[in-house]
Amino acid sequence: MSNAETAKVVTTRVVTTESGRMGRVAYARIAPNEDLVQGVEKMCLAEGFRNAFVRGGLGSLVDASLGCRDGSYQQISGPAVEVVSIAGEVRSGADGVPVASLAGIVADTDGNVYGGPFLAGWNPVCMTFEVTLEEWIPEDEASA
Amino acid sequence: MSRTLQSGYHRPRMLRHVGRFSPVRIQSMHYQSGRHIRLLLQPGRSLYDALVEPLRDIGVTSASTTILGGYFEHLEYCVAPPDPTGNAVIAYSRPIDAGASFMVFGNATLGKDMEGRPLVHCHASVRVADGGVKGGHIVPQASIIGATPISVLVTALEGFELRQAFDDETNIPLLKPFKES
């Protein structure tokens, strides 16, 4: 490799670990027809959380839309589709906008289960959704 | 019922509820820190008693919990189809007997009902007696812990409490956060 070629090599440092601590704990009830994913994001805006982990969540959706690897999505018809397990986190970028990544298992009106990532904007709450978030404070933000 | 769709726009369906629309769409409260507890659900107890009593003994009456999986001697769950009476848009079905089951993962919220008694609202996925996996609203008083204790991670909620209150919009009582009474 010539010196000129060497100069083009860009080293990208991939961050795989992030130290930090847990902060505040918030609980919200998200009302009907609000989107689950955006509801969690709005909850972070309301509570001033930049980053958070989902500590618990349960409720129902009108219909559920779960993303697939090829860009298609699986639609589970309700009402109601019950969310029977959920995990996820919220992260904010430099613009301060919280982005929730949520995945889980849902059950249809016969109790049949389906799983995958919840697509933002396409998972309207049916009756109620209860969610508990625990704030995550990365070390570099805590010391800033 | 499910169907796989190619990516593209579809309008998410909304529902018209029985009652008056509330302008408050997200009701949230927070506290400066969380208190975490590892709880072991004891064999032979109902899910309700096994959650409520040990937590009440240490002063916890509002909490969000993650049930980490375990065997139930007997389990009952409900699904949530449309309400044929029109009282609300959906209503829980009659309890479905899942028999001896394995709870794969569950979330349960602990709060108080409208009379001030402990209330457990639990949703979970469950491998039922015939080997199939189902999910729904668990009936905590009728679901009995199996022979091995089940671990639960409890995030106790402090500085505010969860109480069931009648929700005008949906026309049913629901858990909501309130300042401690």
Asked if the structure places residue B14 within a domain, the reply is no
**Structure confidence at residue A10 (pLDDT):** 63
Mean residue pLDDT of chain B comes to 96
Of the CATH numbers 3.40.640.10, 3.30.1330.80, 3.40.30.10, 3.40.50.150, which one belongs to the domain with range A19-142? 3.30.1330.80
Is the pLDDT assigned to residue A97 strictly greater than 60?
yes
C-beta separation of A84 from B123 below 8 A:
yes
Rounded CA-CA distance B63/A82 in Å is 20
Asked if the structure places residue B168 within a domain, the reply is yes
Say if B34 is an interface residue toward chain A (CB within 8 Å).
yes
User: How many domains does the structure of chain B reveal?
Assistant: 1
For residue B106, list chain A residues with Cβ-Cβ distance below 8 A: 84-85
Tell me the pLDDT tens digit for each residue of B98-131.
999 999 999 999 999 999 999 999 999 999 999 9
Going by C-alpha positions, the residue among B119, B36, B109, B32 that lies closest to residue A28 is B109
**Structure confidence at residue B10 (pLDDT):** 84
C-beta separation of A51 from A137 below 8 A:
yes
Q: How near does any CA of chain B get to the CA of A91, in Å?
A: 18
Between A11-25, A126-140, B38-52, B120-134, the lowest mean confidence (pLDDT) is in A11-25
How many CA atoms does the CB half-sphere of B4 hold within 13 Å? 9
Asked if the structure places residue B77 within a domain, the reply is yes
- Largest pairwise CA distance in chain A: 66
- DSSP H helices, B29-107, are 47-57
Tell me the pLDDT tens digit for each residue of A126-143.
999 999 999 999 998 766
Say if B81 is an interface residue toward chain A (CB within 8 Å).
yes
Asked if the structure places residue B27 within a domain, the reply is no
Between A2-6, A133-137, B32-36, B153-157, the lowest mean confidence (pLDDT) is in A2-6
Q: What is the mean pLDDT of residues B150-168?
A: 97
Rounded CA-CA distance A54/A33 in Å is 21
How many beta-carbon pairs under 8 angstroms link A with B? 217
Domain that holds residue B86: 35-178
Asked if the structure places residue B17 within a domain, the reply is no
For residue A88, list chain B residues with Cβ-Cβ distance below 8 A: none
Is the pLDDT assigned to residue A109 strictly greater than 70?
yes
C-beta separation of B28 from A47 below 8 A:
yes
Would you kindly state where each structural domain of chain A is located, as residue ranges? 19-142
Is the pLDDT assigned to residue A4 strictly greater than 70?
no
Going by C-alpha positions, the residue among A115, A73, A86 that lies closest to residue B7 is A73
CATH number of the domain residue B143 falls in: 3.30.1330.80
Rounded CA-CA distance A58/A73 in Å is 22
Asked if the structure places residue B84 within a domain, the reply is yes
**Structure confidence at residue A27 (pLDDT):** 98
Q: How near does any CA of chain A get to the CA of B181, in Å?
A: 17
Mean residue pLDDT of chain A comes to 92
Lookup result for tokens 């639609």: A75
